[in-house]
Every structure is written in C-alpha cells, then in structure tokens.
C-alpha cells in the first residue's frame, strides 16, 4: 500500500512542509530509513538524523525548529510520537482485517457463536457456548474454554489459554503464551501441616481496550471476578492473583506481581519487578517504583514510593544522597571527636 504525505497528514490531522505528493509504502527508523519510507522524530537525541535521513516523509512536533534544510517532506503535529503510534495502529488494523476464516485443523463446538470476519487459526480449540465478537482474530494453538465471551475487534495471539467462564471485552489484545483464568493460589493449612485446596469457582473479567503482554498470568477469583478495568496495560511476565482489581488506565511493567484481593486504583503506574502484597488498596495515580516491595495500603492519591519495604520516593532519594556521603561524614565526625578531646584536654590542663 502506498500513501502520500498529504493523505497521511489528513489521517493524523497534521500539516505538510515540502512535497505533499511524496509517497511512502513502509516504516523505518529515522537513522536507518530509506527512500519510500515514513519515519518520525520525537526524541531530541535523534535530531541529527533528521538532516541526513533518506526517509521520504518524517513526522515532527509542531514546535520543532529546524537548524538547517531537510530533504524529506515534513508533517507537523502536536505530538509526533502519538501520531506515529496512531499510524502504526491503523496499519496493523488493515493487515489484520485481511485475515478471516477458519483454518484447519481446529475444533469449534457446535454451540459456539462466531461473529462476522472472525479469524480462527489452526490447532485452536473453542469450547461449548463460547461467543466470539465481530472482527476478532484468534491465532493458532489457542484455547478458549467453555462459556467464555470475547468481544469485538480483539486479537488473541498464538498459544493464549483462556479458561472457562472468563469474559474479554472489545478491542482487547492478549499476547502469546498468556494464561487467563488459571486457579488462584488458594490452600487452607491443616493442623498436620498439609494443605487443602480451596476451589476457585470465580472467573476473570477483562474490560475494553486492555492490552496484556506475552506470558502473563491472571488467576480466576475464588468467588466473584478478578477484574482488569478498561484501558489497563499489562506488560510481559506479570502475575495477577485471584480477586485482584486493576483500575482504569493503570500500567504495570514486566515481572511485577500483585497478590490476592489487592485493589489497584485508576491511573496507577507500577514498575518492573515490583511486588505488592495481598488485601491492600493502592490509591488512584500512585507510582510504585521498579523492584519496590509494597507491604501496606497507599491511601493518598498520587503517592510515589520506592524500595523494599516501599516508602516515600522523595524521602528515599534524600536517604540515598545521605548514604553516598557517609564515608565523608564519618571522617568529619572523627575529626570533630579528635578536636573535642583536644579542647577538653587543654581545658583540664
């Protein structure tokens, strides 16, 4: 597919500088792009490449000031990174729309209901009473258990497993290898030291416009639902335990773990490898730094914490600064002690 700079500018509400008829058919990084490719400049660190790139069209910010002439056609927008992401999403949508139909071999229960323009990849299993919405793509080797509901315009990548009774909203993307609805970690300790498994009879509910990375695991609730609310974004290798609630537009980076029954608020940011204990609440807008260990509720919105156990971010930075100066402080204290001893000796004499 070939698009002109003018057509692209119309898609992203931008304005062109240079040849509006310049044509592109693919994307490229600004430092590597070739003629016929579209690129963007958002990070000032890459500004030097704007003047040497071979890209035919480059998207830049409205307020960017050129230091010299450039060869590519420019498209100015308020936010180049967001505009480029919008174009990539449209391109991906077009490519995915080309997929439809049912590949063989696959198993689809007679009671399952598939929407229009659905794609079912080979070696996929779709159980009894499953509902799959319009334009949803389910890639090969996926498992959709009995009584699951998957909304419209979703993408279920290869090897995803969704256990029985789980519900997935519209425009949800789940990446390869992720497991939705496995049993929560519920075991009742007994007097003899053994454990009795607590049956996990709830489900997982994923609302609209959620994206879940590869090899993540989201456990089903003991009773009720583990809930991932609209617009949340979860990275790869994340563990979400039973009965957890993740708020609207919350983002969680890779290898983080959220323990059972914890409620994460809206717009929360959780860094990579952070750990959150169970049965606590995290207020809206909180920021939990990478590798932090959160052991108690954050009740004040927009709180930032770091460390393990996690504590106030600003205090942590000050403590780190003091810690770096400890050797010099020790030296000064010893000098002061020596001076005090000398003054005392002189006073006694």
Q: Is 295 helix (H, G, I), strand (E, B) or coil?
A: coil
- Report which of 268, 274, 259 is spatially closest to residue 301, judged by C-alpha positions: 268
- Virtual torsion, Cα 267, 134, 218, 258, nearest 10 deg: 0
Task: Give the CA count within 13 Å in the CB-facing half-sphere of 30.
Answer: 24
Kindly report the number of other CB atoms within 10 A of residue 207's CB atom: 19
Contact (CB, 8 A) for 68 and 95: no
Q: What does the radius of gyration of the chain's CA atoms come to, in whole angstroms?
A: 27
Two tokens, residue 305: 């914490």
Two tokens, residue 330: 């020790």
* Active-site residue, 242 included: yes
CA 92 from centroid of its chain's CA atoms:
18
Two tokens, residue 144: 């959709």
Distance CA 88, CA 69 (A): 27
Tell me the residue length of the chain: 349
Distance CA 146, CA 142 (A): 13
- Virtual torsion, Cα 297, 187, 255, 296, nearest 10 deg: 10
Which residue among 54, 175, 242, 279 is the active-site one? 242
Can you give the three-state secondary structure of 117-181, one letter per residue? CCEECCCCEECCCCEECCCCEECCCCEECCCCEECCCCEECCCCEECCCCEECCCCEECCCCEEE
Q: What angle do CA 142, 147, 149 make, to 5 degrees?
A: 70
Task: Give the active site residues.
Answer: 242
């Amino acid at each position: 597919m070939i698009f002109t700079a003018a057509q692209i500018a119309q898609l992203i509400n931008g304005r062109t500088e240079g040849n509006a008829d310049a044509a592109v058919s693919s994307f490229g990084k600004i430092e590597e792009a070739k003629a016929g490719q579209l690129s963007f400049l958002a990070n000032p660190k890459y500004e030097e490449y704007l003047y040497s790139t071979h890209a035919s069209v480059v998207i830049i910010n409205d307020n960017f000031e050129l230091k010299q002439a450039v060869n590519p056609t420019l498209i100015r927008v308020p936010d180049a990174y967001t505009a480029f992401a919008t174009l990539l999403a449209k391109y991906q949508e077009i490519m995915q729309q080309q997929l439809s139909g049912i590949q063989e071999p696959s198993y689809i229960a007679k009671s399952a209901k598939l929407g229009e323009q659905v794609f079912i990849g080979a070696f996929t299993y779709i159980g009894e009473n499953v509902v799959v919405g319009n334009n949803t793509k389910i890639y090969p080797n996926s498992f959709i258990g009995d009584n699951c509901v998957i909304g419209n315009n979703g993408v279920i990548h290869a090897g995803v497993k969704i256990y029985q009774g789980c519900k997935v909203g519209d425009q949800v993307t789940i990446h390869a290898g992720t497991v939705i609805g496995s049993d929560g970690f519920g075991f009742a300790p007994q007097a003899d030291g053994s454990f009795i498994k607590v049956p996990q009879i709830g489900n997982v509910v994923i609302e609209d416009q959620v994206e879940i990375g590869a090899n993540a695991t989201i456990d089903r609730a003991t009773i009720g639902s583990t809930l991932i609310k609209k617009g949340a974004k979860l990275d790869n290798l994340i563990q979400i335990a039973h009965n957890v609630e993740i708020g609207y537009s919350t983002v969680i980076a890779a290898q983080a773990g959220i323990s059972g029954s914890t409620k994460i608020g809206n717009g929360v940011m959780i860094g990579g490898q952070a750990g959150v204990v169970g049965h606590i609440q995290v207020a809206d807008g909180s920021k939990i730094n990478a590798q932090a260990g959160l052991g108690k509720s954050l009740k004040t919105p927009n709180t930032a914490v770091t460390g393990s156990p996690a504590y106030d971010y600003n205090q942590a930075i000050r403590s780190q600064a003091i810690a770096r100066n400890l050797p010099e402080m020790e030296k000064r204290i010893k000098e002061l002690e020596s001076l005090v001893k000398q003054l005392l000796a002189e006073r006694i004499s």
